[in-house]
């Protein structure tokens, strides 16, 4: 049997202790979803978290914050936001403007939502921005075109 999702089989998961993607043993399943895993490196059991992709930068976590935006876990966005803000604390804050040009990881200030970090660029002219209490999709001037 080589099913990838079954109790006692191995899976790649993000380890909340080691803070990286590592091989884990599945400890518990919930329906067909992995509920709990044990890290093979630190031996700790924790809730399953999808691997993040080892080489991805901080802002990659933004897409995760987006997913949890629909769940009653608002404070996790705030924690993420605080992490992002402190890891980008040396960046200047750009005032948000619909004609502005923004890049991944840019800090911006929105008149309604406050300070946020660009977590994702959505082609051709949208930004996914992590604000303190929510993740918002904002329209902006568009990417600086490669075929300009
Ligand atoms: Zn671990």
Q: List 25's β-bridge partners, or say none.
A: 10, 38
* Global pTM value: 0.47
Beta strand 107-110 with 93-95 is parallel
Q: List 11's β-bridge partners, or say none.
A: 24
| CA 49 to ligand 1 center in whole angstroms | 12
pLDDT score of 147: 44
Residues 6 or more apart in contact with residue 52 via CB below 8 angstroms: 14, 21, 60, 61, 64
Cβ–Cβ under 8 Å, residues 59 and 105: yes
| CA 91 to ligand 1 center in whole angstroms | 32
Where are the domains positioned within the chain? 1-55, 58-139
| CA 128 to ligand 1 center in whole angstroms | 30
As given in the structure block, the two tokens for residue 130 are 């992590």
SS3 76: helix
- Convert the pLDDT of each residue in 58-75 to its tens digit: 555 555 555 555 555 557
- Convert the pLDDT of each residue in 83-112 to its tens digit: 999 999 899 999 999 988 899 999 999 999
| CA 23 to ligand 1 center in whole angstroms | 9
- Convert the pLDDT of each residue in 119-129 to its tens digit: 999 988 999 99
Cβ–Cβ under 8 Å, residues 40 and 21: no
The candidate with the shortest Cα–Cα distance to 97, out of 88, 84, 108, is: 108
């Amino acid at each position: 049997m080589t099913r990838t999702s079954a109790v006692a089989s191995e899976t790649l998961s993000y380890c909340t202790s080691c803070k990286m993607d590592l091989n884990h043993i599945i400890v518990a399943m919930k329906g067909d979803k992995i509920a709990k895993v044990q890290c093979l490196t630190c031996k700790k059991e924790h809730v399953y978290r999808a691997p993040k992709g080892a080489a991805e930068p901080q802002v990659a976590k933004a897409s995760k914050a987006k997913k949890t935006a629909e769940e009653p876990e608002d404070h996790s966005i705030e924690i993420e936001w605080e992490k992002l803000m402190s890891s980008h604390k040396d960046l200047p804050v750009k005032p948000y403007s619909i004609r502005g040009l923004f890049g991944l990881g840019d800090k911006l200030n929105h008149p309604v939502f406050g300070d946020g970090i660009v977590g994702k660029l959505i082609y051709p002219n949208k930004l996914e921005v992590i604000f303190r209490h929510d993740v918002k999709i904002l329209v902006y001037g568009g990417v600086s075109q490669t075929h300009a």
